[in-house]
Structures are given as C-alpha cells and as structure tokens.
Amino acid sequence: MNSQPVYNLDEIIKNNLDSEQWKQFKRIHYGRIDHGELQLKPSTIEESKKNGFEVAAFSVDAAKEVRTTNIVKVGLIQHSIVLPTNEPIVAQKRAVFDKVEKIIQSAAAEGVQILCLQETWYMPFFLCTREKQKWEEFAECPKQGQSTQFLRKLAKKYNMVIVSPILEKDEGVWWNTAIVIDADGEYMGKHRKNHLPSVGSFSETPYYAPGNTGHPVFQTKFAKIAVNICYGRHHALNWLMFALNGAEIVFNPAATISEFGESFWGIEARNAAIANGYFCCSINRVGTERFTTTTNQDITRSYYGSSYVTAPNGCRTPGLSRDKDGLLIVKMDLNLCRQVKDHWGFPMTSRLELYAKELRDKSL
C-alpha cells in the first residue's frame, strides 16, 4: 500500500493558490516575492537523487554600499537515522557517518563554507526511553571523539567550518554540546546547551547537566557564529546574549516532533533574527525512530524536518521537506546584519541597563 505524501506548509499553500495569490503569500509569509533561488550543479542534482536527499539553494543579498560584500555560503543538513535502534551502537554511528559524508561532499561541491548538522546528529534521540546506560557508547569526548575526528578530516579537506552537535561525556558527566571545527580542521571550542526541557517525554535533565559555557561566539575563518541548541530557542534572552557577544549567524540544531511546537517552529528563530540583527539557521531531523525499552515498552518518535534560514530583515527561505533527508544552502551577505541594525535601531534603543537592574532584582 502506498503511503500518503507528507507536505510541508509551503507545498500545501502553493498547491491551493493561483499565481497572483501565491505571489502575495510569498511577499507576506517569506518577506519577499523572489526566493533568490540558486542554480545547482548538475552533478549535485545527480548525487542527491542517487543518495536520496533533496537539495535547495537560495541567496539573501544586502544593499550595495561602500563596504565590500561579505558573502558566505552556509549549509544545513537534516537527516534520519539509518539502522534500527537495537543494532550495535558502533554500526549505527558508522551508518550515519556514511550517509552524512555523502551530503557533505555535495555541500562542498556547491561551495558551502560553514555547515551545521542537527542536534546529536549521529544517534537516535533516545531520551524518550528514560534509559541511560544502554546508550552510553554514544557519549563522546569533544576533542578526541569519533565524530569530531571524522568531521575534522572533512573540514580540512573541504576548507569548511563544521558545527557538530554531540552527546558529550566529560569526567562521567553528560552534556548536550555543539563542537565548532574551523576550516583548517582544528577544534575551536564548544557550547553546552543552556536550557533543558522537562516536558512530557522530553525530559532531558536525567541525562545531562544544564550548560555552563555561557554564550560563546566563535570567530571562524568565514564569520562570527554561535549555536543555540534546540530548546534554547524558547528563551529570548538566550538569543539576545549571542547577539551582544557579536554573532552574525546563530545555528539552532534541534530534534523536535510535531506535538512539541511545530506550530511555532517557523516563528521563534525568525523573531530572533529580526530582534537581534543576525541570520538564524534552524535544523531539525527527519524520520521515525522506534525503541523497545528493557521493560518491553515500544516507543515511536517521528520528526518533521522543515529546516530553514531567516535573515535579519525577517526574510526567510522555504523549508526543507518534512520527511526527507536534505541539504539547504544559503548564500548570505553578512553586511545585512549591520544594515538592519542601523535601519531599525534596536541595539541603540535596547536600554539594557533597565533590564539588567530588573533582572538582577528578580533573580535575588
């Protein structure tokens, strides 16, 4: 029996509007009529079909000015796991490595300079099982871990900055962490997830500790970047601190299901981009993950992908598929960050001292 196609919002709307209505929808919903779609190389299209992932590419320009353009090409990868969750962990990781490497190769062929993977990209998101010990092999050392060493080679080979969200283990403590590898393949540093959910089956506090690395911004070869991991997108001050620390691009790698806020998936990062004057890149995994616990409880989690990018002027790209592996490429002019800040004056009128006093008083 053929399964019903899974449509994202973009497809649903487009399929039910005439050309003029679709034009006006794009103007309002995306912030511009023309998506700035980029032409892909024939080899990229061929590789995507061969390896079963979609590719979409767009550009976001800034107004011409005295300063030279500051263009960087960013790539986001969403994907499903490969093997059943009861397979040996070493085999599960290797299978995801093989899948992701093929997508990274296509990203490199298209000139991607900064690439971000989804939250804990090399493993199933097993936290819904409420079991810990059986998954321990997925936890890694940030510098010497298998996934970091794997990606360091690719970063150096392709002259590409790579953001790798991992499950970190440090002196027996687990952390939800994002590793940043610079374009020379060198480890730059890490950010640990600041805010942990404890909502329904999304209860992460029994697994790892709340982050203690603050809000670091990494001066990579191509841009100043930061990482706001998953649940952190629900906290406006989290976004703000990355802006105050100078971020030009903030990545939001996630693992989230439809029942857990799909209705505001397309809103929060967009709001953050506008309020803070930087680019926001939202990445969510796809696919269905099935678990059987040691008490023989069967658990199923399905993810909805829909990765997208928002510019500081509020324009956003269409989202990737809700159910397919995908690579989203965006060529962005970082001069737009300063242009938007100058136009709206949000930093100038922010009155941080007022909020600092009230926050200090409330936290006592």
User: Is residue 193 flagged as an active site residue?
Assistant: yes
Is 230 one of the annotated active-site residues of the chain? yes
* Distance (Å, whole) CA 184 – CA 136: 30
Contact 117, 80 (CB under 8 A): no
- Cα torsion 18, 4, 53, 9 to 10°: value is 40
The CA–CA distances, whole Å, from 300 to 134, 136, 144, 336, 344 equal 18, 20, 32, 42, 45
The tokens for 23 are 């034009």
Q: Considering 128, 230, 315, 337, which one is annotated as catalytic?
A: 230
CB atoms < 10 A from the CB of 283, how many? 29
Q: Return the H-helix or E-strand segment holding 43.
A: helix 42-51
Cα separation, 184 vs 154, whole angstroms: 10
Q: Is 64 among the residues known to form the active site? A: no
Active-site option among 26, 73, 99, 119: 119
Active-site pick, 193, 204, 280, 281: 193
Residue 127 and residue 207: Cα distance in Å, rounded? 8
Q: Cite the active site residues.
A: 119, 193, 230
